[in-house]
Each structure stands twice: as C-alpha cells, then as structure tokens.
C-alpha cells in the first residue's frame, strides 16, 4: 500500500491499543511506525536496478520482524516517557510492546492484500505472498481510517468515544478488504464463464484489482499463443472484450535460461504471475529479452503491463545485468471517462 495509507492504519491501530494511555501521541507515533517498514527502499540503488525487487518488502515486511524489533522500541519508548515530563504517560512495557507489535505487523498484512505481494516469511523463504483484494492505492479504504482519526483528534482523544470510533473504522475497513477479495473471486468466475461462452480455449485465469476502481478487475487468461486480457465490472458484468497478447517462442526459451540465474529468481518471485515475453536484436549482435509483468496495465501501450525486466543475451547466456523498464502511460480525458463507466458496468469503447 502507499505510505499514507500505511501511516493511517498504523495510527488507527496505535490509538486502538494505547489511545487511553497516550492520547494524541498514539496517533502520531503510530502513523510514523506504520510507515517504518518501507524504509527498506533506501537500500535501492537506482530506478533501473533489480534491487527494488530484491530488497523492498523483504526483511522489514517479514512477520518475524515486528516481534523482534518491538523489544528495543519498547525500551526506547519507556526511556523517553520516563526521561521527559512532557511525554510521561501510563503505558506499561506490556502496553508498549503490543502497540509496536501491532503497528509494525499490520504493515505487511496490508501489503499482503495487494497483488504486488510481500515476503512474509523472510529469511526462511524469499517467496512472495499476496491476494488481490485492493490495489496499492485505495482512497476509499484510506478515507474510512482518516475520517475516524480526524474525529478522534477533534474530541477527547483519550476518551472511550474516540477509541470506539477508531475501532469501528478498523472493523469497517477490514470488511471492505473482504468485499474486495470477494470481488476478485467473482471476477475470476465471470471471466471463466465469458471465455467459455466465446469459445476461447484457455488455461489459468488471473484477476487483479485496478487503481481507484473498486468494482473493475483486470483479468488475464493463459492461452496457447500467450494470453488474453480483458476487464470486467463485478457490479454490472458485460461481455468481456478480450485482447490477445502473443508471446514469442524464442523468448520463452530464453526466459527459461534466465530463470536459472539469481536475477531471474528474484524477478520471477516478484512477478509471481503471467508474463508477456518478446525478443529483439540489438545493434551489437546480442539479443534482448523483455518480460512484462502483466498484473498491472490498461488498454493501449500498457496492455501487456506497466513495467518489466530487460536482459541481453549472447547465445543462451545472459551477459549484462538485467534492467527494469517502465512503459509510458498516456492518459486522456476520454480514457478516464471510459474507466469510470467500465467500473460501473456502463457501455464504453475502451475497456
């Protein structure tokens, strides 16, 4: 999830745990703590390096991180509260531990409900886990938490009413995640039915949430020639306009070779889903393999994906460090209107 939403969740959880003892401090400290695991982006060297996929959502997003790191944070919190009269409070060591544990551990759990995925069990395994319930930016979810926190700050932040308001927002936002997951399951079923009705032979079906559109899902299905991509509203389903995305057999062979490398393992663990492959000849006599992550994308230039990984080959051996690439997105007012209409299952000519 985006840093603002992670901070809001940390603030809400922190206030629910220690709002009576810490008052407004529970919100402000929880907001910062909720964002802390994303400090791992400081380990990324540049915009094209594979380091982003190597380090981001790694050890700081592990379920083992919060229980361990919470111990020194408890010691620091107690020292501050006892050393400075301004920060003196009634929170015990046990209360502080629960505070830090939940503020930190809910960060990777929120990342888990996006199809970007997160490494929940590092260092035992580098595998990423995730479900496509919500997109990485979800204004409705964020707004639910923000309104409750603002209400708590405007009143008696330490009072029972403020805590009940924040706890209610946490319950409603969690239910909203459940609705998102249900929408994804339904979209997969709708896609399978539509493919059968249109006599499109297919393999595995993948469904992904779309940015800012809670009912619109991007669905990708494996076919003999590559994949087909479509969009479906779970609110008012219409016949899906499937668009083919072919893969190059030569590229598929090179991709299998690349999968044996360390960079390949990192990329495939990150992508964890359908890939669009293509090859092209470079001017220096080498061959460039491009692999597009098909989880994110929109009709047009980004249909196959918003980003991917490119690597050069000489024969069957990769010879240069793999580089991340992004596909420029063209946004027009007409496309935005079509996106909104598609979300509500209304007629349009783009999705």
Domain parsing of the chain, residue ranges:
3-180, 201-351
| Distance, C-alpha 212 to centroid of its chain | 13
Contact 11, 27 (CB under 8 A): yes
Residue 316: predicted pLDDT: 63
Residues 6+ positions from 134 with CB-CB distance below 8 Å: 1, 113, 114, 141, 176, 177, 180, 209
- Nearest Cα to Cα of residue 106 among 17, 4, 13: 13
- Nearest Cα to Cα of residue 265 among 277, 255, 252, 251: 255
Query: In whole numbers, what is the pLDDT of the chain averaged over residues?
Result: 92
Position 231 pLDDT exceeds 70: yes
Contact 270, 296 (CB under 8 A): no
Q: How confident is the model at residue 318 (pLDDT cuts 50, 70, 90)?
A: low
Of 54-68, 239-253, 307-321, least confident by mean pLDDT is: 307-321
Strand partners, 218: 208, 231
Residue 156: predicted pLDDT: 93
Residues 6+ positions from 240 with CB-CB distance below 8 Å: 190, 191, 194, 195, 198, 219, 230, 231, 232
Position 286 pLDDT exceeds 90: no
pLDDT in tens, 144-182: 999 999 999 999 999 999 999 999 999 999 999 999 999
**Which helix (H) or strand (E) element contains residue 275?**
strand 275-281
Q: Which SS3 state, helix, strand or coil, does residue 315 take?
A: coil
| Distance, C-alpha 23 to centroid of its chain | 31
Position 285 pLDDT exceeds 80: no
pLDDT in tens, 116-154: 889 999 999 888 899 999 998 899 999 999 999 999 999
Dist CA 69 CA 147 (whole Å): 30
Residue 44: predicted pLDDT: 77
Q: Above pLDDT 90, what percent of the chain?
A: 70
């Amino acid at each position: 999830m985006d840093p603002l939403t992670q901070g809001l969740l940390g603030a809400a959880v922190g206030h629910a745990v220690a709002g009576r003892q810490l008052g407004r401090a529970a919100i402000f400290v929880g907001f910062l703590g909720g964002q802390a695991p994303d400090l791992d982006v400081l380990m990324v060297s540049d915009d094209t390096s594979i380091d982003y996929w190597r380090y981001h959502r790694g050890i700081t997003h592990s379920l083992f991180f919060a229980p361990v790191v919470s111990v020194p944070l408890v010691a620091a919190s107690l020292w501050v509260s006892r050393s400075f009269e301004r920060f003196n409070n009634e929170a015990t060591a046990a209360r502080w531990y629960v505070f830090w544990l939940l503020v930190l551990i809910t960060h990777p759990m929120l990342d888990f409900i996006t199809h970007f995925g997160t490494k929940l069990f590092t260092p035992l395994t580098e595998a990423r886990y995730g479900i496509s319930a919500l997109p990485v930016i979800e204004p409705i979810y964020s707004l639910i938490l923000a309104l409750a926190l603002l209400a708590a700050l405007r009143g008696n932040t330490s009072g029972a009413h403020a805590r009940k308001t924040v706890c209610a927002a946490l319950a409603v936002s969690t239910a909203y995640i459940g609705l998102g997951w249900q929408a994804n399951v339904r979209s997969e079923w709708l896609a399978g039915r539509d493919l059968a009705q249109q006599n499109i032979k297919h393999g595995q079906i993948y469904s992904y949430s779309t940015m800012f559109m809670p009912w619109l899902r991007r669905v990708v299905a494996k076919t003999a020639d590559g994949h087909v991509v479509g969009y479906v509203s779970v609110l008012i389903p219409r016949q899906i306009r499937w668009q083919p995305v072919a893969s190059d057999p030569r590229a598929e062979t090179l991709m299998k070779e690349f999968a044996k490398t360390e960079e390949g393992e990192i990329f495939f663990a990150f992508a964890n889903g359908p890939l669009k492959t293509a090859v092209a000849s470079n001017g220096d006599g080498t061959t460039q393999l491009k692999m597009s992550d098909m989880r994110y994308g929109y009709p047009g230039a980004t249909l196959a994906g918003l980003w991917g990984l490119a690597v050069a080959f000489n024969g069957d051996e990769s010879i240069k460090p793999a580089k991340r690439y992004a596909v420029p997105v063209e946004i027009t007012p007409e496309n935005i209107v079509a996106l909104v209409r598609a979300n509500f299952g209304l007629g349009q000519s783009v999705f």
